[in-house]
Chain A
Amino acid sequence: MNTGARHLKSLLPALLALPFAVPAAAAGVAAGSLIENTASATYTANAATQTVDSNTVALKVDELLDVAVASQESGAVSATTTAVLRFKITNTGNGPETFTLTANPAVGGNAFNATVLGLAIDTNGNGVYDAGIDTDLANGAVSPSLAADEPLAVLVRVSIPAAAPPNALSKVELTAAATTGAGAPGTLFAGAGVSGGDAVVGASGATHTADATLTVTKAVVTLTKSATVADPFGGARPVPAATITYRIVAEVTGTGTVTGLTVNDAIPAGTTYQPGTLTLEGAALTDAADADAGQGSASAIAVQLGDLAAGAQRTVTFKVKIN
């Protein structure tokens, strides 16, 4: 971008129109701008007024490489299987620049690490990933060129591993680094700036990282099975003709709701299901496939618990006799 010519034209109106119209970005004058200084003098010599101009000294403003990354999330983002984290990249330098965008899901202190599915530019700015509308970027890809001060809405798409426990927290970092180069402030990339000028790393180091936090929202079902044996002799030995009462406790933990939960259990070999012994929460269920929630047969029992919210607990029992 060569703003020098434009700047020269703007100088004259600027002298007339105040305040001074300066092509200044937040980071300062645009890279490539010319600073041209000319002094002129009038004086009297031999009773005549004379004028003289100095030579014009001209400088070209070099490019400052700076960037800022900010999470646009106000708190932890709830996620069950996938999530989209919103970030804003801003070119805080004074010239057009592209930035390498890298999402890192493996941040120290994470309870689990998400998997980065990809990045996207939130083309329509709605804060939601719209497949086919938003521009997909691979993780580690380069952004479009951003003018000085120009922001870019970037979405980081992640998936949550199945093993991630409910309510676990995980940070995902997004780093933007100037492709011209990054490094210690003051690092020089000769000739790499706008219109052949130099590029110099600014205070940000020309790279910046921000993070956003995921929290796992999911319900987890835990089944706990126990057995109580009653032998025909009033004892608890597993001998033929002894009755085993199986107790299955289904517990939902975490957050959210599980839907369509069914408990199935096969009748163990060497035992015989005792018809009419199936219960749910202490209430008897018929063995037939009918209006109630349970079915019992010689091969298996099944109880439809339906939708259960986190915190719910259901107990199923049935009896078999050892053959």
Chain B
Amino acid sequence: MTSHSNLAAVAALVLGTSLAAPVLAQPTAVTLEGDVKVVHEVVENGKTRETLDEPNQVLPGDRLVFTTHYRNAGDKPVTDFVVTNPLPAPVKLSQTGAFEVSVDGGKSYGPLAALKATGADGKPRAAELGDVTHVRWRLASIAPGASGDITYFAEVR
């Protein structure tokens, strides 16, 4: 997986973008390919290990891993690469990761620990994994031909 944690570089790249003439109807250079697997725990020789299986069967409580494979198929770097993934309603995020999350339907993003949600009593409370509505990855740039996977784990509610 390519690095996608260099968030600080994003601002610099935005400022440093060259003022090339606008190009219209440029073919899409980046492709996204989604996949999902079910995470199963297998005990072998007394050790538990996780396997990723085809989701032939999905039940409440199952843990899923959603993967998006991205690739810059163009011959130039792309910048300010932001991938947004609304969580399907039937799942809840099961762990945080190298991504930002939103608990307000994608209006605002941040680390989960910094976000607030509204509790059953109508008062603000610390946001929890189950509150997450969107996850978002930000990569400063993708070199031509470069590719990688971004993933999140979620549990079927």
- Answer whether A and B are interacting partners: yes
Chain A residues packing against B (C-beta within 8 Å):
7, 10-11, 14-24, 27-29, 33-50, 52-57, 59-62, 64, 94, 188, 198, 200, 202
Measured between alpha carbons, how far is A50 from B86 in the docked complex, in Å? 19
**A19 — which chain B residues lie within 8 A by C-beta?**
117-118, 131
A and B contact pairs by CB, cutoff 8 A, 16 listed: A7-B90, A11-B88, A15-B133, A18-B117, A21-B89, A28-B61, A37-B34, A37-B88, A40-B32, A40-B85, A42-B80, A42-B81, A52-B31, A62-B58, A94-B60, A198-B56
Measured between alpha carbons, how far is A46 from B17 in the docked complex, in Å? 9
Considering the complex, give the chain B residue whose CB is closest to the CB of A28: B60
Which 6 pairs show the lowest CB-CB distances between chains A and B? A28-B60, A54-B32, A54-B34, A29-B90, A39-B85, A39-B68
Q: Are A54 and B76 in contact (CB under 8 A)?
A: no
**B21 — which chain A residues lie within 8 A by C-beta?**
47
Q: Residues 35-58 of chain B: 1 if any A CB is under 8 Å from the residue's CB, otherwise 0? A: 110000000000000000001111
**A16 — which chain B residues lie within 8 A by C-beta?**
105
- B106 touches A (CB below 8 Å): yes
Measured between alpha carbons, how far is A41 from B142 in the docked complex, in Å? 12
- B146 touches A (CB below 8 Å): no
Q: Are A43 and B31 in contact (CB under 8 A)?
A: no
A70 vs chain B, min Cβ distance (A): 22
B53 vs chain A, min Cβ distance (A): 12
B107 vs chain A, min Cβ distance (A): 10
Considering the complex, give the chain A residue whose CB is closest to the CB of B19: A47
**A41 — which chain B residues lie within 8 A by C-beta?**
30, 32, 70, 81-84
- B100 touches A (CB below 8 Å): no
Considering the complex, give the chain B residue whose CB is closest to the CB of A21: B89
Q: Are A37 and B36 in contact (CB under 8 A)?
A: yes
Q: Are B90 and A50 in contact (CB under 8 A)?
A: no
* Best-surrounded residue of B19, B59, B64, B150 (most CB of chain A within 10 A): B59
Chain B residues packing against A (C-beta within 8 Å):
17-24, 26, 28-36, 55-61, 64, 66, 68, 70, 74, 76, 78-91, 103-106, 117-118, 131, 133, 142, 150, 156-157
Considering the complex, give the chain B residue whose CB is closest to the CB of A200: B59
Q: Are B89 and A46 in contact (CB under 8 A)?
A: no
- Add 8 more A-B contacts to A43-B81, A62-B57 (CB < 8 A): A7-B90, A15-B105, A18-B117, A40-B83, A41-B82, A45-B30, A54-B34, A188-B57
Considering the complex, give the chain A residue whose CB is closest to the CB of B25: A48
B88 vs chain A, min Cβ distance (A): 5
**A35 — which chain B residues lie within 8 A by C-beta?**
36, 58, 64, 88, 90-91, 156
Measured between alpha carbons, how far is A288 from B156 in the docked complex, in Å? 87
Q: Are B118 and A46 in contact (CB under 8 A)?
A: no
**A10 — which chain B residues lie within 8 A by C-beta?**
89
**B79 — which chain A residues lie within 8 A by C-beta?**
43-45
**B117 — which chain A residues lie within 8 A by C-beta?**
18-19
Measured between alpha carbons, how far is A158 from B33 in the docked complex, in Å? 63
Q: Are A47 and B32 in contact (CB under 8 A)?
A: no
Measured between alpha carbons, how far is A94 from B21 in the docked complex, in Å? 57
**A94 — which chain B residues lie within 8 A by C-beta?**
59-60
